[in-house]
Amino acid sequence: MESKTSLDTKNIYQLEFFNAAPSQVYNVWMNGELFSQINEMKASVDDKIGGSFSYCNNLNFGLNVMLNQNNRIVQAWSHRDFPQQHFSILDISIEQHENGCYVYLNHYGVPAQCFEMIAREWQTNYFIPMQLYFDNLDLAKSMNDLD
């Protein structure tokens, strides 16, 4: 009889605040062209339930499981370094708050050997470039308000 081995997984929880409306954050996540401009890495997104996506020069890929426009994104999410055919679940919630919005990232079922790398990549490949993008938009708006 063939024995099955279980995969050791961990969950990633991160919280970010952006000087942006929930619709702006949602749009960056679900618009491959805009994501590519912000992160300077190739991305493509079919923004429908069941639609496929790939981010960060095809490092991350999967399918959209649930989409609640401007509010929530749930994806079956994989990475080139994950074991073959392993998908984790990414659950992004976006909440409006004064002067911007909070993004709650819950990433379930990340292979333990990839945990630290993926946790870092959420910051370096997603949140930091998005933060810079929204901060620059806010600065440009402030400059225009002075005119």
- What's residue 107's pLDDT? 98
Residue 145 lies in a domain: no
| pLDDT tens column, 66-80 | 999 999 999 999 999
The pLDDT > 70 percentage for the chain reads 90
Residues in Cβ contact with 113 at an 8 Å cutoff, skipping those fewer than 6 apart: 8
Query: Mean pLDDT over residues 102-128, rounded?
Result: 97
| pLDDT above 50 for 20 | yes
How far apart CA 127 and CA 105 sit, in angstroms, is 10
Residue 61 lies in a domain: yes
Look up tokens 């620059």; give the residue. Answer: 136
- φ/ψ of residue 46, rounded to 5: -95, 110
| pLDDT above 60 for 139 | no
Tell me the pLDDT band of 24, cut-offs 50, 70 and 90. very high
Residue 122 lies in a domain: yes
Candidates 38, 24, 23; CA nearest to 128 is 38
Tell me the pLDDT band of 143, cut-offs 50, 70 and 90. very low
Kindly report the CATH number assigned to the domain that includes residue 56.
Answer: 3.30.530.20
Look up tokens 């409306």; give the residue. Answer: 21
Residue 2 lies in a domain: no
Strand partners, 74: 66, 91
Instruction: Say which amino acid occupies 30.
Output: M
Tell me the pLDDT band of 57, cut-offs 50, 70 and 90. very high
Structural domains in the chain (count):
1
Query: Mean pLDDT over residues 141-147, rounded?
Result: 50
Query: Mean pLDDT over residues 78-83, rounded?
Result: 96
Tell me the pLDDT band of 85, cut-offs 50, 70 and 90. very high
Residue 100 lies in a domain: yes
Instruction: Say which amino acid occupies 26.
Output: Y
Candidates 78, 79, 64, 71; CA nearest to 32 is 64
Give the domain extent around 36.
9-139
Residue 1 lies in a domain: no
